[in-house]
Amino acid sequence: MKKLLILVIVLSVTSISVNAEDIRVVVSQDPVIKISAMSALATAEKVNVCLMSTDGLREICVPTPVSKNVFPRTARASVKAPKKEFSTITLDADSVNQVVDTLKATGWYYSVEVDVAVSSNTKAPVLAYNANVLVSEQSIEVPNDPEYMNQTYLHSNDGVRELAFSNITEAGNTVIDKTRNVGIAVLDSAFAENDELTFTGGYSFVTAFDEERNENYFLRDGQERDACIMHGYGVAGVMTTAINDGQTIAGIINNVDTYALRVMNCGSGYLSDSSAALNYLAKQDVNGVPMFTGHVEVANMSLSGPADTCPSYMQDAIDNANEAGITVVVAAGNDNTDASAFTPGNCTGVIVVGALSKEGERANISNYGDMVNLTAQGMDVLSFGVEGKTVYWWEGTSFSAPLVSASVALAKRDAPSLTPSTMRWLVENTTSALKDSTGECQTYGCGSGMLDAKALVLAAQKAQQGELSTIGHVLAEKSSCDQQWYIDHFGTSAKLCNMYRVNFFDGLTSQNTSFKLLRANKGESIANGEDILISESSSVVLQNIDTSLYDYGFKTCESGICSIDTYPFHINSVKMKSPAACTEGK
């Protein structure tokens, strides 16, 4: 008989060795379904019941889902239904389908899904050598870290697109509030610290290899650093290593709260453990784990696993994280194939990052396709690894993702109120053009372009100041003299006094994007509001905009399919007022 293990979470391809008969699934209960068939067992918290499999080949013994949290459907009207709770079950069976079909047939569960096996899918790093790249930084304050010149991804475009420059150092210099607290979570494995890289806290969510969740987010007892290759240590080092301390490499952002969440064991694990870690960050109840008391705005997941669709337990956790204000960044994967076949990159509500070479071309290991939002350098990235503070060359989308995560954290310093949905839009629409001399990105798909951290910070600042998506009187930006002139010459024919300009994302749009303008009565959900129009232009002039009665928002659309996310407008009451020339003499 075969033993199958089901996980979902990482971005690498390391396999998990399991007994061929052990099949791990994730189940959830509808919290309002009464399990009448189990009423006789209601006095027990968990009882094992053996069922004949739907294919009639064997008995499968499962714990019944009897729980104090299950209550009758009749209670729906008077009791607010709690969110679904997911749990894992490992069973002896012949195949995954046998388990899934049998458990679904019981009617006890809202969902039954395979627990996807995930990994960091990254090769062991290579010792760095001293081979400085000559790059001019023209009037930009650069750190004194010895390896900085080799960290080309931190550098700025000098006018010639020769390397995968991402304007990261210049982005850091552009940030106004350099001390505002930002929290970054790293969901990974094999963490370590040194005097340049420390963690505010963390937790281990690993349940693979007979582990139990605990407070030790570093290596498991008895594990060797060289065997585990220290992937999480490397990923965290890219983002939050001390800058300008004259020691080794430069990180991207200093003075942040960094949390290490171990979700894999030496680069392999289950996706359900990653979903539990995200729920923890979102301050949801996670069985057996104390409530998270910190604050995180960015979560980096440099991991992936094969799955045709995003499992509901992963999507549920991402939704919870987004609702809690956490922007989730994931690696596209390193299998040189379409990213849609890997999770969590095929989930919604995440930023999916592909990898470029140092020269700015698509990395030949990077996954690609429509699921990829943007790319960043993922080859020849410098960070810590196996030996103490020794610096290594790393490669893969695991190391392009943290460039984006840390850039988002920089942007959040000046834009703390931006929602994850708005941040995703800004990340994708502030990219720079890809070099793509080979044509691979055009052929396969590398997202909207290459990370431009400075452009992202500037757009986030503008959004925070209420200058990105706006509604105002069409003459609000004109001087009083110009207002009078326009009304005198065009007021009657163009009805300028009743005209308003609507700006969507200040022109930060891709070529095929259109916008659906919505309105709703004050206090009602804009997402379910009335459609006003669909515009292919990022700026339109309309009559009869009334912000005293209605709230306005919009959705972005691609090829006629509009986003789930609804974006609000910034309404400036001063700019909404009709010019004095419209009211004088009336």
Helix (H) or strand (E) holding 553: strand 550-558
- pLDDT of the residue at 458: 96
102 to each of 54, 55, 58, 113, 177, how far by Cα in Å? 5, 8, 11, 12, 56
Which of 89, 117, 145 is the endpoint of a domain? 117
Could you tell me if residue 320 is inside a domain? yes
Question: Do the beta carbons of residue 8 and residue 116 sit within 8 Å?
Answer: yes
Q: What is the pTM of this model?
A: 0.88
Outline where DSSP puts E strands in 215-349. 257-262, 268-270, 298-301, 305-306, 327-331, 342-343
- pLDDT of the residue at 498: 79
- pLDDT of the residue at 492: 54
Could you tell me if residue 9 is inside a domain? no
d(CA 572, CA 273): 45
Could you tell me if residue 557 is inside a domain? yes
Over range 466-495, report the average pLDDT.
69
Confidence bin at 490 (pLDDT 50/70/90): low
Bridge partners (DSSP) of residue 559 are none
Pairing of strands 183-188, 350-356: unpaired
Confidence bin at 541 (pLDDT 50/70/90): confident
Asked if residue 444 and residue 383 are part of one domain, the reply reads yes
Asked if residue 447 and residue 527 are part of one domain, the reply reads no
pLDDT at 75 over 70: no
Could you tell me if residue 78 is inside a domain? yes
d(CA 475, CA 574): 12
Asked if residue 511 and residue 430 are part of one domain, the reply reads no
d(CA 44, CA 30): 19
d(CA 65, CA 48): 10
Quick one: 573 exposed, middle or buried, by C-beta within 10 A (0-12, 13-18, 19+)?
Answer: exposed
- pLDDT of the residue at 121: 86
Asked if residue 490 and residue 452 are part of one domain, the reply reads no
Could you tell me if residue 7 is inside a domain? no
* Structure tokens belonging to residue 517: 């303008």
pLDDT in tens, 261-308: 999 999 999 999 999 999 999 999 998 899 999 999 999 999 999 999
Asked if residue 216 and residue 307 are part of one domain, the reply reads yes
Asked if residue 324 and residue 179 are part of one domain, the reply reads yes
pLDDT in tens, 317-345: 999 999 999 999 999 999 999 999 999 99
pLDDT at 520 over 90: yes
- pLDDT of the residue at 382: 97
- Of 409, 402, 407, the C-alpha closest to 382 is 402
* Structure tokens belonging to residue 496: 């300028």
Number of folded domains that form the chain? 3
pLDDT at 526 over 60: yes
Asked if residue 435 and residue 524 are part of one domain, the reply reads no
Question: Do the beta carbons of residue 19 and residue 38 sit within 8 Å?
Answer: no
Domain holding 536, by residue range, is 470-583
Which of 117, 145, 165 is the endpoint of a domain? 117
Asked if residue 217 and residue 329 are part of one domain, the reply reads yes
Bridge partners (DSSP) of residue 376 are 355
Asked if residue 269 and residue 139 are part of one domain, the reply reads yes
Which of 63, 98, 117 is the endpoint of a domain? 117
Question: Reduced to 3 states, what is the DSSP secondary structure of residue 70?
Answer: coil
- pLDDT of the residue at 461: 97
pLDDT in tens, 131-168: 455 454 445 778 999 999 999 999 986 555 568 899 99
For the ranges 178-187, 256-265, 519-528, which has the lowest average pLDDT? Answer: 519-528
Q: What is the DSSP letter of 434?
A: P
Could you tell me if residue 109 is inside a domain? yes
Question: Do the beta carbons of residue 200 and residue 236 sit within 8 Å?
Answer: no
Could you tell me if residue 165 is inside a domain? yes
Asked if residue 297 and residue 430 are part of one domain, the reply reads yes
Asked if residue 445 and residue 360 are part of one domain, the reply reads yes
Asked if residue 442 and residue 314 are part of one domain, the reply reads yes
Over range 14-22, report the average pLDDT.
48
Confidence bin at 193 (pLDDT 50/70/90): very high
| Dihedral, 525, 531, 532, 538 alpha carbons, nearest 10 | 90
Question: Reduced to 3 states, what is the DSSP secondary structure of residue 490?
Answer: helix
Considering 74-83, 407-416, 576-585, the range whose residues carry the highest mean pLDDT is 407-416
Can you give the CATH number for the domain in which 556 is found? 2.60.40
d(CA 148, CA 58): 61
- pLDDT of the residue at 31: 58
- Of 151, 144, 168, the C-alpha closest to 242 is 144
pLDDT in tens, 238-268: 999 999 999 999 999 999 999 999 999 999 9
* Structure tokens belonging to residue 210: 């007979």
Can you give the CATH number for the domain in which 424 is found? 3.40.50.200
Alpha-helical regions (H) of 430-532: 440-444, 453-464, 480-494
Pairing of strands 550-558, 561-562: antiparallel
Could you tell me if residue 527 is inside a domain? yes
